[in-house]
Amino acid sequence: MKFKKTSILPGLFILFCTLSLPAAWAAYPEKPVRMIVPLSAGGGMDTVARAIATPLSERLGQPFVVDNRAGGGGAIGAEITKDAPKDGHTLLMGSATFVIHALLYPARYVPSRDYATITQVTRQPYVLIIHPSIPAKNVRELITYAKANPDKLAYASSGQGSLIHLTSELFKARTGTQMIHVPYKGMGGAYVDMLSGRIPLAFPSIISVIPHLKTGKLRALAVSSAQRAASLADLPSMMEAGVPQFDVSNWYGLFAPVGTPKAVVDRLYREVAEIIKGADMQKRMAAEGSEGVGSTPAEFATHIKNESARWSDLIKKSNIKAD
């Protein structure tokens, strides 16, 4: 029995391509991988990046080198990654600020358009805190007090357009309260004024405020995430406390330039997810007020789109402007 050459060759060619494409990336990584952190060394994002870089180096046989490229509110590191070769050897550790910055400032990038999502690495809920001079023992009492004293309560943030600023504005929008925004260059300066009672309210990170909660100098009312935080398990979530549709967490996630081969993205996702879901890493993150996530690339892409839509809507409705 004879077969026509024209009937078998196209099929063999397609089969060859299908089998050889994953094999072409089986050797990844072929050289050191640069993991860009768009902030200075020593912060929370830098710490998380280095925590996963070491085991990635061990697992994949090439160094994963953290490269701190601070500046432009994270835009410098984001643009370097966007313009890098699409081969998986340049990655970006991004955060919620990565999304917000592109909404507030002229930027050369759009997170959902210009980057391949690999995985959400962590989430870090904030905690609503007040100075004890405010006569409120829970969130409902705070809302009642704020409505009875419109524009008399002031809240601190780590800067105009920061996630802490937007979280506080979301609280105002969801509760119908009016408060005055006092931006700082980071929460260090804010704590000085909060501990004195000059600024009575804020949504800081859990890890930064725990020492002040232990001394009783500041009072925690609720965490900003949909679920309770392991490090403050006795505190209700904001929705438990009666604030509808309130689920905010800072997060760190891994990106590559758009067009990076799916096989590379999927391998990075699997390796990182295994690392951060390990018991030791989960324990380490909980001690720092965060949680490991390890979402799939598709889940992370959906998260980015939802974050962009939510903050874009709030920025417009609250008329939030960049510095």
Q: What 3-state class would DSSP assign to 61?
A: coil
pTM of the entire predicted model: 0.88
Output the pLDDT for position 99: 95
Whether the per-residue pLDDT at 315 is higher than 80: the answer is yes
pLDDT band at 17 (very low <50, low <70, confident <90, very high): very low
97 DSSP 8-state letter? H
Task: Return all residues near 46 (Cβ < 8 A) that are at least 6 apart.
Answer: 37, 39, 40, 66, 68
Per-residue pLDDT reduced to its tens digit, 41-87? 988 899 999 999 999 999 999 999 999 999 988 999 999 999 999 99
Give just the sign of the alpha carbon dihedral 28, 295, 292, 170. positive
The CA distance from 219 to 238, in Å, is 15
Contact 180, 153 (CB under 8 A): yes
Q: What is the mean pLDDT of residues 11-20?
A: 47
Peptide bond into 29 cis (omega under 30): yes
Provide the mean pLDDT of the chain. 91
Per-residue pLDDT reduced to its tens digit, 268-292? 999 999 999 999 898 888 888 889 9
| Nearest 10 degrees: Cα torsion 9, 15, 18, 22 | -110
Angle, CA 256 vertex, CA 19 and CA 289 arms, to 5°: 120
Find, among 109, 99, 97, the residue nearest to 160 by Cα: 97
Q: What is the CA radius of gyration of the chain?
A: 23
pLDDT band at 14 (very low <50, low <70, confident <90, very high): very low
Strand order in the sheet with 180-183: 180-183, 154-157, 201-202, 127-130, 219-223
Q: What 3-state class would DSSP assign to 43?
A: coil
pLDDT band at 33 (very low <50, low <70, confident <90, very high): very high
Contact 92, 81 (CB under 8 A): yes
Find, among 7, 63, 56, the residue nearest to 30 by Cα: 63
Whether the per-residue pLDDT at 21 is higher than 80: the answer is no
Q: Which domains are seen in the chain, by residue range?
A: 30-124+249-317 (3.40.190.150), 127-232 (3.40.190.10)
Whether the per-residue pLDDT at 105 is higher than 50: the answer is yes
Whether the per-residue pLDDT at 19 is higher than 80: the answer is no
Output the pLDDT for position 4: 46
